[in-house]
Structure 1
């Protein structure tokens, strides 16, 4: 990977069937975006609106790389990031319909939803190198949503929407996965998740898209052990699917696809959740489509993708986690998906 200083940018993928692209928006000091500048991934999207995933576009932990899943061609693209923009480092075959990818200290795991399965890789100066023997099948029909590492990299977590389960694998020093541990989700249809730095796992629950039933649960984690703390704290909204934690670990922001609201929860020192504001930020009131979101690493700005209106919405983060709208930027394809902020 290159080690030049990374630019400040927001990345999304076009997910177009005839050629997927990484769309790069530059950010200004006040959070406004300019662009997008498209860069071909070398793969193909599935060409469908609303890619059912969290983590289809992911920054590496060192901020020097961007990973993009190509759901249509069954591969993942790696880009190095330097001051001039992302540089394609190659595309690697992974499996059927990859829709989520996670990285920790150079170890990468990809969630394939067509198989379904997970498989491992290492980042190198030339791209991704497959980790021999790392592929692990998941339960057929479980409908996995996201793959992610615990903060210390000792466990790999997967949410399964139809199975209503959270699956955790121990991660060995060689990057290989141990035996899976499965626990039932506190609520129905666990979707996206995020971690605090101390290992509290926060999982949003879509409750099969039932109106007004959206909720979030928190769990204490120790390795692969996952223990409920707060169970299904509802926000009164619908189709909650994506989650991100503030840089100070005090707040959780969740997007509600059905009504364009971003809900804010307070995270207690013990990992408990309290709903602060069910609509701390709103894209287009009552409009469907708000989905993938991310915070800039300094915690100053939150961005969320609205696929139906083909826009990215932005907010500045203020005192007590408040959100103030700073603008929106459109012209995106209807198939747009994923969002990562550098």
Structure 2
């Protein structure tokens, strides 16, 4: 478990083809960010302005390490939170999403496409023999993530309009996949509540005004719809994060820079609270990856088109108050994770 009293930080990857870097920012008591360091990952990014995935970098559950996918060189880098690189390990073609639970790591490769497993130790990532599982060609996977108890691994597939879940064995190996149709088209990023309710955003092929979010009850690798395609009236919804108290879901809308807030019911149902609870640059494209600090007090989102990070403070009632923006990121910057 991450400690809420640990120093807060925000991480972004530069995704530069000439050499990927982990960019670190210190979070002050008021939520303001200050740049602290940029550390080479030992791999390369894909050099594009937008990395189409959620979870291209992540902070481990204990808050002690940061994992970064290198889409250009086909490997994954592990860092201690002090910036010391533990190592860079080959994963597969075009890795774009990574997840961790109790030292077990799975990476989503989008060029193959496939998922593959590792164990995280003091020396970095060690591959788990026989853990690679192929995904369907043309499925266009967007994210990989563990359920809160680590019993299941979930992958969203945009072109297949599917949510695929695998049971996870004690040895880290995956069982047979369970695939179900997404409630809405183009399932993209997702997040879990602590009790295992799965929240999946639906981009609907980037159709204007069609963005929506669905919730699902999970039991192991079984996924059952609760709320189907609750719209927010906005466009190109792609990223999701659940509040620390599990009462709210925040989603970012790429096409219009809005952060939407959904209320989460005790039964896992979703209700749209505020379609524009926060706004980066109103009406402009670019708002993408997002995360909350471990204590839930601050929300940050990367605006890839304006090359900056926007921040909001989070009130007890879930409302957002803008606290600033911090710029001069590389044109190719991607991903965002916070401690």
Q: Mean alpha-carbon deviation: is it higher for 203-212 or for 29-38?
A: 29-38
Choose the corresponding residue for 2:256, options 248, 255, 259.
Answer: 259
* Residues in 2 aligned to 1:73 and 1:323: alpha-carbon distance in whole angstroms: 38
Match of 1:160 in 2: 157
Match of 1:317 in 2: 314
Q: What SS is found at the alignment partner of 1:228?
A: strand
Choose the corresponding residue for 2:214, options 213, 217, 221.
Answer: 217
Q: How far 1:86 moved relative to its partner? A: 1.4
Answering whether residue 299 of structure 2 is matched by residue 302 of structure 1, we say yes
Contact 1:44 1:70 in 2 (8 A): yes
* Residues in 1 aligned to 2:151 and 2:41: alpha-carbon distance in whole angstroms: 30
Match of 1:331 in 2: 328
* Residues in 1 aligned to 2:241 and 2:113: alpha-carbon distance in whole angstroms: 25
Q: How far 1:7 moved relative to its partner? A: 3.5
* Residues in 2 aligned to 1:37 and 1:289: alpha-carbon distance in whole angstroms: 24
Q: How far 1:36 moved relative to its partner? A: 4.9
* Residues in 2 aligned to 1:220 and 1:205: alpha-carbon distance in whole angstroms: 17
Match of 1:45 in 2: 45
Output aligned runs, 1:134-145, within 5 Å: 134-145=131-142
Q: What SS is found at the alignment partner of 2:317?
A: helix
Match of 2:19 in 1: 19
* Residues in 1 aligned to 2:271 and 2:317: alpha-carbon distance in whole angstroms: 13
* Residues in 1 aligned to 2:10 and 2:83: alpha-carbon distance in whole angstroms: 11
Output aligned runs, 1:218-297, within 5 Å: 218-297=215-294
Q: Which runs of 4+ in 1 moved over 6 A?
A: none
State the TM-score, normalizing by the size of structure 2: 0.98
* Residues in 2 aligned to 1:116 and 1:283: alpha-carbon distance in whole angstroms: 33
State the TM-score, normalizing by the size of structure 1: 0.97
**Superimposed CA distance per residue, residues 173-211 of structure 1 (whole angstroms, 9 cap, x where no aligned partner):** 000000000000000000000000000000000000000
Output aligned runs, 1:160-199, within 5 Å: 160-199=157-196
Answering whether residue 94 of structure 2 is matched by residue 91 of structure 1, we say no
Contact 1:156 1:169 in 2 (8 A): yes
* Residues in 1 aligned to 2:223 and 2:28: alpha-carbon distance in whole angstroms: 40
Q: What SS is found at the alignment partner of 2:205?
A: helix
* Residues in 2 aligned to 1:117 and 1:9: alpha-carbon distance in whole angstroms: 31
Q: How far 1:319 moved relative to its partner? A: 2.9
Q: What SS is found at the alignment partner of 1:52?
A: coil
**Superimposed CA distance per residue, residues 249-300 of structure 1 (whole angstroms, 9 cap, x where no aligned partner):** 0000000000000000000000000000000000000010000000000000
Distance 1:174 1:63, change over 3 A: same
Contact 1:45 1:70 in 2 (8 A): yes
Q: How far 1:80 moved relative to its partner? A: 0.9
Q: How far 1:334 moved relative to its partner? A: 1.1
Q: How many residues align?
A: 336
* Residues in 2 aligned to 1:266 and 1:199: alpha-carbon distance in whole angstroms: 16
* Residues in 2 aligned to 1:331 and 1:202: alpha-carbon distance in whole angstroms: 32
* Residues in 2 aligned to 1:54 and 1:308: alpha-carbon distance in whole angstroms: 17
TM-align CA RMSD: 1.0
Match of 2:205 in 1: 208
Choose the corresponding residue for 1:121, options 118, 121, 126.
Answer: 118
Match of 2:55 in 1: 55
